[in-house]
């Protein structure tokens, strides 16, 4: 199997032809991005990928079409079939030697229900993934499977391997005491119109002490919101501010949810170094890492002039991946995290 990520600048029809010519009978999945992670760190207007050789991996892949209208029951049935096919191909598969990769349209706005259906059937098999991007244009994202790019769909790969691996997630942002309540919202479109009974963008600006007329992506990246679930903080990133002063989010949102202003409670460089130190202690220095990194993390790094330092860390740990419109980790759809799967080089005993 081959997994790739490409800039939205590519002519997808030309790319489709070359991918199909190059990889023949191999399974190929991929998606458009908001930026790429290459062997030397962050990249733009690039094409990157990672191969899963048959000597070390057994894979099965399923595609889900028309996500906005898809039946969750049909998705459950498809995942059940996917697990069954892998079990036939790899009779020794279990929760410890198998993981899933999900690539999903980043603008369909249905990650949460799709994830719920998928993880219900996967059980304890860990899942990671990313929501496809289009370089912050917010027009159309696409997922590649079965020889073509398709909007509005998702590709799920189930992977069994003899190599040691670790599925991971990290973030450096936590909520603070400044609270706000969503008082009016359209959860289907992930649009918040009122916070604390005031126009959403105006109240957001007041609480953070920023200019309501200058809420650009770089500022939104460094002034996120969090929701607390089970004692943990989960970032709810704002995708865009609309002309009517409403705000569109990357994650599920609804009326009555209490949000906290958030800040970087931990140094992002130290956080990444700690992550890879832990991974190396568990499985050895990674031979490769498939990484899903929120686009807002990259924007924050650019603003703080830390992109080159973090690129060095990613390169030193052999990360290939992309800047996402959201990350999937187990059953959760997340924002402003770095998640993925790291592979050791020695065959697991």
Digit-coded pLDDT (tens) for 1-26: 999 999 999 999 999 999 999 998 89
Q: Which residues contact 317 (CB under 8 A, 6 or more apart)?
A: 276, 279, 285, 286, 289, 342
Domain segments of the chain as ranges:
2-170+269-343, 173-264
* Model confidence at 349: pLDDT above 70: no
Q: What is the pLDDT of residue 75?
A: 97
64-76 pLDDT, tens digit per residue, is: 999 999 999 999 9
The overall average pLDDT reported for the chain is 93
User: What order of strands is seen across the sheet that includes strand 28-33?
Assistant: 47-51, 2-7, 28-33, 143-145, 148-150
Closest CA to 283 of 347, 344, 346: 344
Residue 191 CA to residue 75 CA, distance in Å, equals: 26
Calculate mean pLDDT across residues 200-227: 89
Higher pLDDT, 21 or 218: 21
Tokens (6 digits) for 277: 């130190």
Give, in degrees to the nearest 5, the angle at Cα 258 between 256 and 260.
155
The reply to whether the predicted model has a pTM over 0.75 is yes
27 or 174, which is more confident? 27
Digit-coded pLDDT (tens) for 164-207: 999 999 999 877 778 899 999 999 999 999 999 999 999 999 98
The stretch 117-146 carries a mean pLDDT of: 96
Q: If you search the block for the tokens 């079409």, which residue do you land on? A: 65
Residue 226: predicted pLDDT: 87
- Residue 313 scores a pLDDT above 90: yes
What is the tens place of the pLDDT at every residue in 236-266? 889 899 999 999 999 889 999 999 888 776 7
CA atoms within 13 A on the CB side of 302: 12
């Amino acid at each position: 199997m081959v997994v790739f990520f490409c800039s939205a600048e590519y002519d997808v029809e030309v790319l489709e032809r070359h991918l199909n010519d190059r990889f023949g009978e191999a399974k190929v999945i991929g998606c458009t991005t908001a930026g790429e992670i290459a062997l030397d760190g962050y990249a733009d207007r690039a094409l990157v990928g990672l191969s899963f050789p048959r000597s070390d991996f057994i894979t099965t892949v399923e595609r889900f079409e028309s996500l906005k209208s898809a039946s969750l029951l049909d998705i459950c049935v498809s995942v059940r079939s996917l697990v069954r096919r892998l079990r036939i191909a790899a009779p020794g598969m279990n929760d410890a030697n198998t993981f899933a990769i999900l690539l999903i349209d980043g603008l369909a706005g249905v990650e949460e229900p799709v994830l719920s259906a998928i993880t219900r059937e996967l059980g304890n098999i860990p899942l990671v993934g990313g929501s496809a991007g289009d370089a912050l244009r917010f027009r159309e994202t696409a997922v590649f499977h079965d020889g073509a790019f398709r909007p509005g769909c998702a590709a799920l790969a189930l992977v069994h391997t003899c190599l040691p691996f670790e599925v991971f997630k990290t973030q450096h942002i936590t909520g603070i005491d400044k609270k706000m309540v969503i008082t009016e919202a359209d959860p289907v479109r992930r649009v918040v119109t009122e916070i604390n009974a005031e126009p959403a963008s105006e109240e957001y600006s007041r609480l953070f002490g920023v200019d309501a007329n200058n809420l650009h992506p770089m500022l939104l990246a460094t002034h996120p919101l969090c929701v607390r679930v089970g004692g943990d903080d989960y970032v709810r990133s704002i995708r865009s501010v609309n002309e009517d002063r409403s705000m569109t989010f990357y994650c599920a949102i609804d009326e009555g949810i209490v949000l906290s202003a958030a800040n970087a409670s931990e140094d992002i460089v130290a956080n990444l170094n700690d992550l890879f130190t832990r991974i190396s202690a568990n499985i050895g220095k990674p031979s490769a890492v498939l990484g899903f990194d929120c686009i807002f993390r990259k924007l924050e790094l650019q603003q703080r002039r830390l992109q080159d330092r973090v690129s060095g860390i990613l390169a030193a740990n052999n990360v290939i991946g992309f800047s996402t419109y959201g990350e999937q980790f187990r059953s959760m759809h997340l924002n402003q995290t770095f998640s993925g799967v790291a592979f050791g080089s020695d065959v697991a005993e």
